[in-house]
Each structure stands twice: as structure tokens, then as C-alpha cells.
Amino acid sequence: MARVFGTDGVRGTVGSQPMTVDFAMRLASAAGRVLAPDGGSVAVGKDTRISGYMFEAALEAGFVAAGVDVKLLQVMPTPGIAYLTRVLGADLGVVISASHNRYDDNGIKFFDRHGSKLDDDVEMQIEALLDETPVTQESSRLGRAERRYDAVDRYVSFCKQSTPDQLDLSGMRLVVDGANGATYKIAPRVFSDLGADVVTIACSPNGKNINDGCGSTALNMLQSTVTALGADLGIAFDGDGDRVLMVDHKGEVVDGDQLLFAITLSRRQTNQLKGPVVGTVMSNLGLEKALAGLGIDFQRAAVGDRNVLATLRNTGGMLGGEASGHIMCLDRTTTGDGIVAAIQVLEAVRQSGAPLAELVSGMARYPQKMINVRVVQKFDIDRSGMVREAVAAAERTLGDEGRLVLRASGTEPLIRVMVEGQNDALVSSVAEQLAGVVRSAAAAEA
């Protein structure tokens, strides 16, 4: 079969390959044979998409038939599934989610027994078995399925204990946007238990409203609510809870680069910082320069939280992330966790005694323009002479105080064009011109 695993598991439109019931059963059977060949168990959780119930049932059938016990965690953030896979002693964890996508998409991604994403070679072993008929063991060797009603309590407790001394948020008013997704119950409970006065928005999922005008990809409602209520800040998660963005008391967006900066400052102040801070090729140049000014090493990985994680492990680092809000605190957990990251930022705010806006003011964001160019088929930007010429011209225009990145999305049929530099108008102009060239080149090859 053609490779079905993307940068973050398998993802697509529900009802189209690969996101069908038949495929989900074959995927479960293959994963069970690779990761739990002698039986064992799997922890399965999902976000709030209506199709999640369908895929949960298909995966349960595939695993049980293959002789693997299934622990059903029900609605649970992706990082919560990673955590519970470890503490429940499961051989693998499975997440049913398409993250920040619309409800009519869904996806399936895996964690190993340590709560880490699978290596490429393991994914390839699973793919090699996908054409085979799902295994059904004899009755005496079938797996069992159980619903774990303690899952939420365990994960809430873990999040609250993700600072050395449990954080006290008494006196703070927070607005929490759950994106009508997997954090809708858990995040408000965590922050309330820590003492905050919590106001919730987009915490009423109906199966179809996940990421619909809310969450970390649509912050307008959070911004207006924070300012209208005079809240200290707002916290927005994406549909599966592995991303977080914030809004300060003035209603200004605080992105993942700025949140990573705030956590880094806190760790440095308490002598807990180890190794380099890791971002991606898309991280704002302002983050790199701000950290350099503090004598802190900054390294860039390829886009994707798994690439950031790999670089952190290779370099001995503990903090990394992306502007989109994937933030990894490896001294606290094994993967990007929106709630845990938010708690680290709130701890930094408490330590500094300053509002979030002031805390992140030490990082001057360079003007950055991102344009997503939709393509109808896979378009290789590296093979286009037209695009190469346009890139060379853009780099000459930007000079030493700017940079650009062109990359294909790993989850959608998009070419992402990012340009940043010191002059906002110049950055926008260069980005528009470059996106136009990419659009024309892609159309010519369609």
C-alpha cells in the first residue's frame, strides 16, 4: 500500500480512504500484531467528533479480534491518552482525532507504551500488514474491552501536579475556550481546582461544532470575552488538546513562541533549564534573538511536534514547541500537552508577579506573514524552476534581517508560504508575490 501515515498519524475525510470503518479495523489488527503480538492491551480515547463513536467501535473490534485487551478512555485529550497509556501499563495508546480540523475529518494516531509517538520504522511495519485480512483469534484468545471511568480523575490529578509545588490560582479570572473538543470538561475543572475563577466558552460539544469558530485556530470570541469580563487572561485549546494559545488582559494574542519564551524565563529563573530550547523552521525570528540575548541556545527542527521532540531528545533539551501552540515540557510529561503547558505559563505569571503581557514583552515578534496555497494534487515545490527563481528573488529583497520558508502541509493539500522580517509592509508584499508564484506553478502542473 502507499504510505498512509502522515506527520501525525492517519487523517482524512470521514467516509473516504483511509478514514473508513474497514480501514480502522485493518489498522487495529495490524497495530495489534506489531505492538502487542502476544496479547497485551491498548488504551483508546477520542475527541468529540460524531464519527469518533464509529471509529472507536471499529478499532475495538479489530483489537479484540486480534487478542488485545482494550481500555476505553472515552473523550480524552491526546496528551491524556499518552499519559494514561503509561500509567495503565498498556502496550500502545490510540487517539481518534483530527486535531484542529473540522468535524467531517477524523484521524487515528498512536503512542507506544512509554507515551511517545511511534518511530517511522514501526509505522512501516504496521503499514506492511494493512493489505492482510484482519486476524480473528479463537474464542479463548480474544481480547476483552472495558470502559475506564477513572481516566478523567487520573489525568486531572496529573495536570494539577505538573508544577513542583501545586499552583495556587486564587484571585485569577480565566476564560477557557475548549474548542468544543476533548478538553471541554477537563480544562475548566483543572483550573477551577487550582483556585481560579473560570469562565468557559466553546465547552458544549454536539459532535459537529468542534473547532467551529472557536479554539486555538479562531481566537476572536476569546479575545472579546476576556476584555468584556476584565479577565486576567484567556486560554484556548485545539480540538484534541495538545495545543494551547493565550490572550492577555488587553485582548492581544500570545502565540506558542511567546508562551515558550515565558516558560523558558521561568525555568531559567529557578535554575531548572537544561539543554537548548527547540523550535521549528517556522518559529519567529524574535524568539531566537530574544533567547540569544539571554545566552540561551536555540535550535530549529523541521515542522511537527515529533521533530521537535526528536531534537530535544538528541540534544538533551527539555523545552520546545511551535507557534501554533504545540509546547513540550519534557521535565513534566512525554509529549505536547496544552493543559500542562498552560499551567507552566500560569506558574511563570505567578512567579513574576507581572501580567502575561509584561512577561512576554522581552520577546519582540518580527512581522510574519503566512499564506496557505491550496493545491489539488501533490505539488513538489523543490522541482519547480519558477518557484526556485521566485524564492531567490525574495531572499535578495529581504536581506539578512528576514527569512522565508516554503513547505508542504503534512495534514492538508496546502503549500505554506511564510515570510518574516523587520518591515511589515515588505513582508506582506513578498509573501503575496511568492504565494502567487506558487499558486501559478501548482496550477500549471495540475
Q: Distance between CA 230 and CA 151 in Å, rounded?
A: 34
Taking residues 405-424, what's their average pLDDT?
A: 87
Q: Are residues 337 and 203 in the same domain?
A: yes
If asked whether residues 204 and 167 sit together in one domain, one would say yes
- pLDDT value, residue 446: 67
Residues 73 and 112 occupy one common structural domain = yes
Query: Considering the domain boundaries, does residue 2 fall inside one?
Result: no
Assess whether the previous peptide bond of 164 is cis (omega < 30° from 0).
no
375 band by pLDDT with thresholds 50, 70 and 90: confident
For residue 398, the domain's CATH number is: 3.30.310.50
5 located within any domain: no
The mean pLDDT value for 316-334 works out to 96
Q: What CATH code is carried by the domain that includes residue 110?
A: 3.40.120.10
**How far is 94 from 85, CA to CA, in rounded Å?**
9
Distance (Å) of CA 12 to CA 89, 108, 122, 207, 349: 30, 9, 21, 17, 39
Cell matching residue 165: 509545588
Residues 394 and 283 in one domain: no
How much is the average pLDDT of 93-97? 98
Q: Please report the pLDDT score of residue 1 as a whole number.
A: 47
Per-residue pLDDT, 401? 81
The secondary element (H helix, E strand) that includes residue 266 is helix 256-269
Last residue of a domain, one of 149, 165, 189: 149
Q: Please indicate whether residue 99 is annotated as part of the active site.
A: yes
How many distinct structural domains can be found in the chain?
Answer: 3
Structural domain boundaries enclosing 30:
10-149
C-alpha cell at 103: 468535524
Kindly name the residue from 29, 51, 99, 324 that is annotated as catalytic.
Answer: 99
Which one, of 428, 437, 366, lies nearest residue 397 by Cα? 428
Tell me whether residue 352 is in a domain: yes
Residues 277-294 have a mean pLDDT of: 95
Residue 7 has pLDDT above 80, yes or no: no
Short-list 93, 116, 107, CA closest to 42: 93
Do residues 341 and 380 both lie within one domain? no
Average pLDDT over residues 276-302: 95
Statement: the pTM of the whole predicted model exceeds 0.95: no
Residues 426 and 347 in one domain: no
Query: Strands (DSSP E) along 249-330, which ranges?
Result: 253-254, 277-280, 298-301, 319-321, 327-329
- If asked whether residues 119 and 189 sit together in one domain, one would say no
Based on the fold, state whether residues 142 and 243 are members of the same structural domain.
no
87 sits in which H/E element:
helix 78-87
73 assigned to some structural domain: yes
Return the minimum-mean-pLDDT range out of 144-153, 284-293, 380-389.
380-389
Contacts of 7 (CB under 8 A, 6+ apart): 303, 304, 306, 410, 411
Domain boundary among 149, 173, 188: 149
Q: Report whether pLDDT(139) > 90.
A: yes
pLDDT digits (tens, 9 = 90+) for 32-46: 999 999 899 999 999
224 & 348 share domain: yes
The reply to whether 1 falls in a domain is no
Q: If we measure between CA atoms, which residue out of 244, 109, 236 comes closest to residue 180?
A: 236
